[in-house]
Amino acid sequence: MAKRLLAFSDRTAVAGVGWTEFSKDSRVSTLTLACRAILAALADAGIRPEEVDGLATHRVGDSVAPGVVGPALGLPSPSWYLDQFGGGSVSHSVVGQAALAVAAGLAETVVVYRAINARSEFRMGQAANPSPEAQYLQPAGLVAPVQHFALYTRAHMLKYGTKAEQLGQIAVRQRDHATRNPRALMREPITLDDYLASRWISEPLRLLDCCLETDGACALVVTTAERARSLRRTPVLISAAAWGGGDSFLAPGEPTVSAAALLAPRLYGMAGLGPGEVDVAMLYDCFTFSVLVQLEDYGFCAKGEGGPYAASGEGPPVNTHGGFLSEGYVHGINHVAEAVTQLRGEAGPRQVEGAEVALSTAQPGYILPATSALILRRG
């Protein structure tokens, strides 16, 4: 198994990225958003729509399927497609599965997209929840993701002494990154005092601990590494892709440890490197706590040290686009797009000098006991 996994590394690449405008009211359908992002990504790569033979997305009853997007763009019948049910936890597995399809020869050019009117149409938490846990959680008033994450955050605070100010430094630093990102919805700098003054959403999480509700779409073009080298942009190789499960509310487990802790060894093993070799990290930031726990579970610091480590600003730059907290929430795919932008050296004033290796992650496995992640490398 290990040899087969290692043979997958660096055989595929992201050759193009595309975004729509991020807003609070797109005034268009999710289908329109998806098509705009896909066409932008294809133009970025220098690929014609008729060359696309694969489409992949994930959704929770809030977007549009490949079977609708393909005809809308006039694409020929795809030889491979993926329409995966799931939220942010599966976002990076969709990219990994597209890479597997390309590596296996099932398709040559796959576009991965996520389109969502998450403010004006399908607000998060209103989509269907198929988890058997819902029947036990909802009677207790645990409906919204922020309420779930509040419980995990409090557990970390009680066990390790994690402080609100440490979470606040994550929000402040990511907003600083967003000030240099023209796509970001929130570009006004904030201070730690601003963070502490923001209203409670679900204690101990405040407004500025929470990601933005965003209308928008993002797309990636995945093709063979060989073909990517002949296209318009610097290729970004997919060195590792991993996904898997962990504990849920109904399963016994340690609430301060996410499924990312189980995933990380496989991910790093496939790429043949460790956390010390990561130059830039896009850590799923639905809430500030998800960044903190992933700093621990992906090995940048020891368990329980995430608070002081996050506050110190040590380690690789995190969420250089501002993340979901400040750029916008496109359910995982805009993290991958920023990683690609950084590795291509095209991030402008927020560029991390000499960035060669990026880690990009999905929701770390809370609520839904699954997660996924990628390691990307400049080609």
Q: Which residue numbers are catalytic? A: 284, 329
**Entry field: residues in the chain:** 379
Hey, which residues does 378 pair with through a beta bridge? 236
Hey, which residues does 359 pair with through a beta bridge? 281, 375
SS3 78: coil
Q: Which whole-number Å values give the CA distances from 109 to 43, 172, 297, in the listed order? A: 13, 39, 33
Q: How far is Cα 240 from Cα 372, in angstroms, rounded to an integer?
A: 11
Token pair listed for 103: 């590596």
272 phi, psi to nearest 5 deg = 70, 35
- Helix 66-73 / helix 30-45 crossing angle, nearest 10 deg: 60
186 phi, psi to nearest 5 deg = -115, 110
- DSSP H or E stretch at residue 259: none
Sign of the dihedral through C-alpha 323, 302, 343, 377:
negative
Q: Checking DSSP bridges between strand 357-361 and strand 280-282, what pairing results, if any?
A: parallel
∠ CA 266-364-185, rounded to 5°: 125
Is the peptide bond prior to 204 cis by the omega test (within 30 degrees of 0)? yes
